Amino acid sequence: NAGVTQTPKFQVLKTGQSMTLQCAQDMNHNSMYWYRQDPGMGLRLIYYSASEGTTDKGEVPNGYNVSRLNKREFSLRLESAAPSQTSVYFCASSESPTGVPGKLFFGSGTQLSVL
Protein backbone atom coordinates (compact mmCIF):
# COMPACT_ATOMS: atom_id res chain seq x y z
CA ASN A 1 0.00 0.00 0.00
CA ALA A 2 1.78 3.08 -1.34
CA GLY A 3 -0.34 5.79 0.33
CA VAL A 4 0.72 9.19 -1.01
CA THR A 5 3.45 9.17 -3.65
CA GLN A 6 5.34 12.32 -4.63
CA THR A 7 7.80 12.83 -7.44
CA PRO A 8 10.52 13.92 -7.77
CA LYS A 9 12.28 13.50 -4.42
CA PHE A 10 14.88 16.18 -5.19
CA GLN A 11 15.01 18.96 -7.77
CA VAL A 12 17.33 21.86 -8.52
CA LEU A 13 16.05 24.68 -10.71
CA LYS A 14 17.45 27.92 -12.01
CA THR A 15 15.50 31.09 -11.42
CA GLY A 16 12.79 31.43 -14.03
CA GLN A 17 12.53 27.75 -14.86
CA SER A 18 9.23 25.93 -14.53
CA MET A 19 8.39 22.54 -13.15
CA THR A 20 5.52 20.40 -11.94
CA LEU A 21 5.50 18.39 -8.74
CA GLN A 22 3.41 15.27 -9.02
CA CYS A 23 1.31 13.69 -6.28
CA ALA A 24 -0.90 10.63 -6.33
CA GLN A 25 -2.79 8.82 -3.59
CA ASP A 26 -4.29 5.35 -3.69
CA MET A 27 -6.61 5.65 -0.67
CA ASN A 28 -9.64 7.00 -2.56
CA HIS A 29 -9.51 10.26 -0.59
CA ASN A 30 -11.46 13.27 -1.74
CA SER A 31 -9.35 15.93 0.01
CA MET A 32 -5.82 16.69 -1.09
CA TYR A 33 -3.35 19.36 -0.02
CA TRP A 34 -0.03 20.93 -0.94
CA TYR A 35 2.18 22.29 1.86
CA ARG A 36 5.62 23.81 1.99
CA GLN A 37 7.88 23.44 5.01
CA ASP A 38 10.57 25.99 5.80
CA PRO A 39 12.82 26.41 8.85
CA GLY A 40 11.29 28.85 11.29
CA MET A 41 8.03 28.99 9.32
CA GLY A 42 6.63 25.51 9.79
CA LEU A 43 4.12 23.91 7.47
CA ARG A 44 2.18 26.36 5.33
CA LEU A 45 -0.74 25.46 3.11
CA ILE A 46 -0.31 26.42 -0.54
CA TYR A 47 -3.45 25.02 -2.17
CA TYR A 48 -6.02 22.39 -1.42
CA SER A 49 -8.68 20.44 -3.26
CA ALA A 50 -11.91 19.27 -1.71
CA SER A 51 -12.76 16.98 -4.59
CA GLU A 52 -11.97 16.23 -8.20
CA GLY A 53 -12.32 19.37 -10.27
CA THR A 54 -12.14 21.85 -7.39
CA THR A 55 -9.16 23.73 -5.98
CA ASP A 56 -8.80 26.55 -3.46
CA LYS A 57 -6.02 28.83 -2.28
CA GLY A 58 -4.33 28.31 1.03
CA GLU A 59 -2.09 30.69 2.99
CA VAL A 60 0.72 31.11 0.44
CA PRO A 61 -0.60 30.51 -3.12
CA ASN A 62 1.35 33.21 -4.97
CA GLY A 63 3.69 31.81 -7.61
CA TYR A 64 1.97 28.43 -7.74
CA ASN A 65 -0.78 26.74 -9.70
CA VAL A 66 -2.45 23.41 -9.10
CA SER A 67 -4.44 20.86 -11.03
CA ARG A 68 -6.67 18.16 -9.62
CA LEU A 69 -6.42 15.89 -12.61
CA ASN A 70 -8.66 13.18 -11.17
CA LYS A 71 -9.48 11.80 -7.74
CA ARG A 72 -6.01 10.29 -7.36
CA GLU A 73 -3.74 13.03 -8.65
CA PHE A 74 -3.04 16.59 -7.52
CA SER A 75 -0.13 18.41 -9.12
CA LEU A 76 1.65 21.63 -8.15
CA ARG A 77 3.23 23.81 -10.82
CA LEU A 78 5.82 26.54 -10.47
CA GLU A 79 5.60 28.63 -13.64
CA SER A 80 8.67 30.79 -13.04
CA ALA A 81 10.67 29.56 -10.08
CA ALA A 82 12.18 32.06 -7.64
CA PRO A 83 14.78 31.54 -4.89
CA SER A 84 12.04 32.22 -2.32
CA GLN A 85 10.40 28.99 -3.46
CA THR A 86 13.32 26.93 -2.21
CA SER A 87 11.63 24.63 0.26
CA VAL A 88 10.46 21.12 1.03
CA TYR A 89 7.07 20.47 -0.51
CA PHE A 90 4.60 17.95 0.87
CA CYS A 91 1.45 16.57 -0.64
CA ALA A 92 -1.18 15.21 1.73
CA SER A 93 -4.58 13.60 1.50
CA SER A 94 -7.45 12.96 3.89
CA GLU A 95 -10.64 10.96 3.89
CA SER A 96 -12.27 13.82 5.79
CA PRO A 97 -13.79 16.74 3.92
CA THR A 98 -11.75 19.93 3.88
CA GLY A 99 -12.66 22.01 6.89
CA VAL A 100 -13.01 18.92 9.09
CA PRO A 101 -10.12 17.79 11.30
CA GLY A 102 -9.32 14.41 9.83
CA LYS A 103 -6.13 12.39 9.63
CA LEU A 104 -3.72 13.76 7.07
CA PHE A 105 -1.58 11.28 5.15
CA PHE A 106 1.61 12.88 3.86
CA GLY A 107 3.95 11.97 1.06
CA SER A 108 7.69 11.83 1.66
CA GLY A 109 8.30 15.28 0.22
CA THR A 110 10.15 17.02 -2.59
CA GLN A 111 13.24 19.00 -1.70
CA LEU A 112 13.41 21.89 -4.17
CA SER A 113 16.30 24.30 -4.54
CA VAL A 114 16.00 27.35 -6.79
CA LEU A 115 19.33 28.94 -7.61
Partner 1 sequence: TQLLEQSPQFLSIQEGENLTVYCNSSSVFSSLQWYRQEPGEGPVLLVTVVTGGEVKKLKRLTFQFGDARKDSSLHITAAQPGDTGLYLCAGFNAGNNRKLIWGLGTSLAVNP
Q: Are 10 and 108 in contact (CB under 8 A)?
A: no
Task: Report how far residue 92's alpha carbon sits from residue 24's, in angstroms, rounded to the nearest whole number.
Answer: 9
Q: Does 62 bind partner 1 (CB under 8 A)?
A: no
Between 45 and 69, CB nearer to partner 1:
45
Q: Which of 78, 92, 112, 114 is the binder for partner 1 (CB under 8 A)?
A: 92
- In sign, the C-alpha dihedral spanning 110, 111, 114, 115 is negative
Select the residue interacting with partner 1 from 1, 2, 14, 99 (CB under 8 A). 99
CA distance 48 to 33: 4
Q: Rule CB under 8 A: choose which of 81, 109, 112, 114 binds partner 1.
A: 109
Site string for partner 1, 32-51 (x = CB under 8 A): --------xxxxxx------
106 lies in the binding site for partner 1 (CB under 8 A): yes
Q: Residue 57 Cβ, how far from partner 1 at the closest point, in Å?
A: 12
**Where do contacts with partner 1 occur on this chain (CB under 8 A)?**
4, 40-45, 90, 92, 98-101, 103-104, 106-109
